[in-house]
Amino acid sequence: MHRNLRSFMDTLRREQDLVEITAEVDPYLELAEIHRRVIAEGGPALLFTNVKGSRYPVFSNMFGTLRRVDLAFGPRPEQLMKQAIALTHELVPPTFGKVWGKRDLLLDLVKTGTKKVSASQAPILQAVDAPGRLRELPALTSWHEDGGPFLTLPLVYTEHPKTGDHNLGMYRIQIYDDQTTGVHWQIHKGGGFHYHEAELANEDFPTTVFLGGPPALIASAIAPGPEFLPELLLTSFIMGEKLAVVDDPNGGRYPLIAEAEFAIVGKVPPHKRRLEGPFGDHYGYYSLAHDFPFLNVERVYHRKDAIYPATVVGKPVQEDYYLGDFLQKLFSPAFPMVMSGVRDLWTYAETGFHALAAAVVRESYKREAIANAFRILGEGQLTLTKFLILTDKHVDLGNFRELFETVLERFDPRTDLFVIGNTSIDTLDYTGRRLNHGSKGILLGTGDPIRTLPGEYHGPELPGIDQVAAYCRGCLCVQGASFEQDPELAPRLVQQSAADLRDWPVVFLVDDVSIAAHQSSFLWTTFTRFDPAHDIYAETELIRHHPSYQCPIVIDARMKPGYPQEVETRPDIDELVSKRWTEYFGQTNF
């Protein structure tokens, strides 16, 4: 497939799926709002050629539809992954005939890896700024309360100080000045692990931030693969050829991606921090300002005609939704190999991925699902999962209504809900009331149905509740006063109305029941606004150290004091973009 962004852009031009905007656009708020409106309408990729304050054009919305994701990667990676996983069964025991019959596939797999090229074959070495001039980059300020401009598609490359194993992750980068950036290394992820080892040795930590390169490089940086899977190897696997790298001519420790647009090279000092953020993130809220490591930039390599890649995150659905869909489908055949009891697994982009996951698991003996739950919660980035739903029935996990109804028909509240307190959670999830600290929930629904689920509420009025709406059979959304007005409404609902709601296994207390109309709004509004240990209420009896619940399980998913605020477009920017729309696009109607 594509070796660099330019190849991908050429394809999009041929497909008439790329629009160039020649009017001057400000990277402060204006560009991001244009991007958001276009992606909301399923519009094209965007190339901004006249960005205020920078000589570099900006390429955005490259993965903003399923079709563009397919144009970026094609069907080959998924097909090859399925065939490669099948090999583990088909070649056991190995024979010459079996190996010969799979020779084409084996040759494809041999092509994966990196290859060194000369400086003349590496466009990334065409120019170098030393010292760096980061403020010349058209870095976006996407939301008006962001702490400054950020690189929003940074590919942060590090190597373990002792083993040399590499990590390529997408950790947001805030630009402080020409030679300094923040590095949002979360403690649970590969780059953070590497930096921790460097701090133990009290050493400056070499770090390179790439921008651009093959689209597969961007996908690999956010892929939910196991920690032992090298991201550059995955990039090569998706591309279908070896990834070209080149030595740093100035003696840098790490290789450079030959086809990248930019490579920012520097070191992160140990035991030093600087305030980073706020930032309107992919949860749809502002993650708050906290102290994080920072990068001292030594030099910036770039193509002479470099193109700056960018994305915009916020309330779903954004680009990460479509890219995440591709990556989950790519890795799904590998789940049973890595976790033998897992048949299928899905994390939900509508919740920021880590807030909610679901799986179809094996239940060959009673309660095996619990063992599979702990296996999932111990695997790589899945350790950050806040709420996990499991069934042994084959359902389309992407269809949350179908999944939830299947589970709720089988859910026994006495034995099938587990709340595990005092755990770590995703750094961007503030529902735990303390950074990186929270809880996890596990909900099981296996075996045969034990109830018929109601589809509408026909009971008496519920004290303190103004409106009700069913999200799906068995799941009711109810609306009353805000949390600030009535923080005890959820436990009081259990005390006063449990008998009237007994037929409803799960009741969500929300700020606005209209969210029940659509999967995206329901998942975003509910699972990003509760912590299992803090916000789940039910009639409960402790039996042999296990809380035995009765229906309904009431989940308080209202906004609460201390939660970051939702991201919203500033009114004057909304007005500006509306006024200038025809300057950007003429009379084009997406």
Model confidence over 104-127: pLDDT tens digits? 666 666 778 999 999 999 999 999
- What local confidence, expressed as pLDDT, does residue 508 receive? 98
Q: How far apart are CA 221 and CA 231, in angstroms?
A: 7
Q: How far apart are CA 271 and CA 169, in angstroms?
A: 21
Model confidence over 161-181: pLDDT tens digits? 999 999 999 999 999 999 999
Model confidence over 527-544: pLDDT tens digits? 999 999 999 999 999 999
- Phi, then psi, of 504 in degrees rounded to 5: -100, 110
Q: How far apart are CA 548 and CA 133, in angstroms?
A: 60
Q: How far apart are CA 146 and CA 135, in angstroms?
A: 16
Q: Is the dihedral of CA 360, 365, 367, 373 positive or negative?
A: negative
Residue 90 — very low, low, confident or very high, per pLDDT cuts 50/70/90?
Answer: low
Looking at residues 281-293, what average pLDDT do you find? Answer: 94
Model confidence over 500-518: pLDDT tens digits? 999 999 999 999 999 999 9
The fold for domain 5-74+111-310 equals: Pnp Oxidase; Chain A (2.30.110)
Q: Is the dihedral of CA 78, 79, 80, 85 positive or negative?
A: positive
Per CATH, 5-74+111-310 and 319-445 having the same topology is answered no
- What local confidence, expressed as pLDDT, does residue 427 receive? 85
- Residue 317: is its pLDDT beyond 80? yes
- Average pLDDT for the chain: 94
Model confidence over 43-69: pLDDT tens digits? 999 999 999 999 999 999 999 999 999
- What local confidence, expressed as pLDDT, does residue 229 receive? 81
Sheet holding 553-556, edge to edge: 465-472, 475-480, 506-510, 553-556, 536-537
Q: Please give the helix or strand (H or E) that residue 209 lies within, else none.
A: strand 205-211
User: The tokens 């805000």 sit on which residue?
Assistant: 482
- What local confidence, expressed as pLDDT, does residue 187 receive? 72
Contact 84, 105 (CB under 8 A): yes
Q: What is the DSSP string of 387-418?
A: EEEEESS---TT-HHHHHHHHHHH--TTTSEE
- Residue 420: is its pLDDT beyond 60? yes
- Phi, then psi, of 168 in degrees rounded to 5: -125, 110
Model confidence over 12-38: pLDDT tens digits? 999 999 999 999 999 999 999 999 999
Contact 474, 409 (CB under 8 A): yes
**Residue 163 structure tokens:** 């083993």
**Can you give the C-alpha Rg of the chain in angstroms?**
25
- What local confidence, expressed as pLDDT, does residue 211 receive? 98
- Residue 276: is its pLDDT beyond 90? yes
Please choose, from the candidates 208, 207, 191, 211, the residue with its C-alpha nearest in 3D space to the C-alpha of residue 139.
211
How far from the centroid of its chain's Cα atoms is residue 287's Cα? 14
**Class of 319-445 per CATH?**
alpha beta
Model confidence over 466-499: pLDDT tens digits? 999 999 999 999 999 999 999 999 999 999 999 9
The full 3-state SS of 424-467, as one line of letters, equals: ECCCCCCCCCECCEEEEEEEEECCCCCCCCCCCCCCCCCCCEEE
Contact 131, 298 (CB under 8 A): yes
Q: Per-domain residue ranges for the chain?
A: 5-74+111-310, 319-445, 465-556
Please choose, from the candidates 140, 135, 134, 137, the residue with its C-alpha nearest in 3D space to the C-alpha of residue 35.
140
CB neighbours of 291 closer than 8 A, spacing ≥ 6?
273, 274, 275, 276
Model confidence over 196-251: pLDDT tens digits? 999 999 999 999 999 999 999 999 999 887 767 899 999 999 999 999 999 999 99
**Pairing mode of beta strands 437-445, 387-391:** parallel
Please choose, from the candidates 366, 403, 409, 402, the residue with its C-alpha nearest in 3D space to the C-alpha of residue 387.
403
- Residue 85: is its pLDDT beyond 80? no
Task: Specify the pTM.
Answer: 0.92
